[in-house]
Amino acid sequence: MKVRVRFAPSPTGYLHVGGLRTALYNYLFARKYGGAMILRIEDTDRTRLVENATEMLIDSLKWAGVEYDEGPDIGGDFGPYVQSERLAIYQKYVAELIGSGHAYYAFDTQDEIAAMRESKTDSFDTKYDRKVMKNQFTLGPEKTQELLANGAEYVVRLNVPENHEVRFQDLIRGDVSVNTNDIDDQILLKSDGFPTYHLANVVDDYTMGITHVIRGEEWLPSTPKHVLLYEFFGWLTPQFAHLPLLLNHDKSKLSKRQGSVAVEDFREKGYLRDAFVNFIALLGWNPTADREIYEIEELIGLFNLEKVNKGGAVFDTAKLDWMQQQYLKDLPAESLGTMLESELAKHGYNSKDSTKTAAIAHLFRERVIFVSEIPTFASYMFVDDYPIDSEYLAKHWNSDTRNLILPLIEIYRNLDSFSHDEIAAVTKEYSKSSNKKMGEIIHPLRLILTGKPNGAGMFDTMQLIGKEKCIRRFDDFISKYGV
Q: Along the 483 residues of the chain, how does pLDDT read in single tens digits?
A: 899 999 999 999 999 999 999 999 999 999 999 999 999 999 998 888 889 999 999 999 999 999 999 999 999 999 999 999 999 999 999 999 999 999 999 999 999 988 887 877 666 677 899 999 999 999 999 999 999 999 999 999 999 999 999 999 999 999 999 999 999 999 999 999 999 999 999 999 999 999 999 999 999 999 999 999 999 999 999 999 999 999 998 888 887 666 679 999 999 999 999 999 999 999 999 998 889 999 999 999 999 999 999 999 999 999 999 999 999 999 999 999 999 999 999 998 877 789 999 999 999 999 999 999 999 999 999 999 999 999 999 999 999 999 999 999 999 999 999 999 999 999 999 999 999 999 999 999 999 999 999 999 999 999 999 999 999 999 999 999 986
- According to the CATH classification, is domain 384-483 in 1.10.10.350? yes
Domain ranges of the chain: 1-72+244-329, 87-189, 331-379, 384-483
Contacts 24+ apart (CB under 8 A), 178-181: 178/224, 180/224, 180/228
- 54 close to 272: Cβ distance less than 8 angstroms: no
- CA 105 to each of CA 97, 148, 203, 274: distance values in angstroms, whole numbers, following the listed order: 11, 9, 19, 51
CATH of 1-72+244-329 given 3.40.50.1860, 3.90.480.20, 3.30.70.120, 3.40.50.620: 3.40.50.620
Angle between helices 87-99 and 197-207 (to 10 degrees): 100
Cis peptide before 80 (omega within 30 of 0): yes
Kindly report the pTM of this predicted structure: 0.91
- Judged on CB neighbours under 10 Å (0-12, 13-18, 19+), 481 is middle
Which ranges in 219-290 belong to alpha helices (H)? 223-233, 263-269, 273-281
CATH of 331-379 given 1.20.120, 1.10.3470, 1.10.287, 1.10.8: 1.10.8
Q: What pLDDT does residue 290 have?
A: 87
Torsion of CA 254, 256, 257, 258, to 10 degrees: 60
Q: Which of 92, 256, 310, 395 is catalytic?
A: 256
- Taking CA 193 as the corner, what is the angle to CA 118 and CA 225, rounded to the nearest 5 degrees? 60
In eight-state DSSP terms, residue 350 is: -
- According to the CATH classification, is domain 87-189 in 3.40.228.10? no
* 256 noted as active-site residue: yes
- 192 close to 164: Cβ distance less than 8 angstroms: no
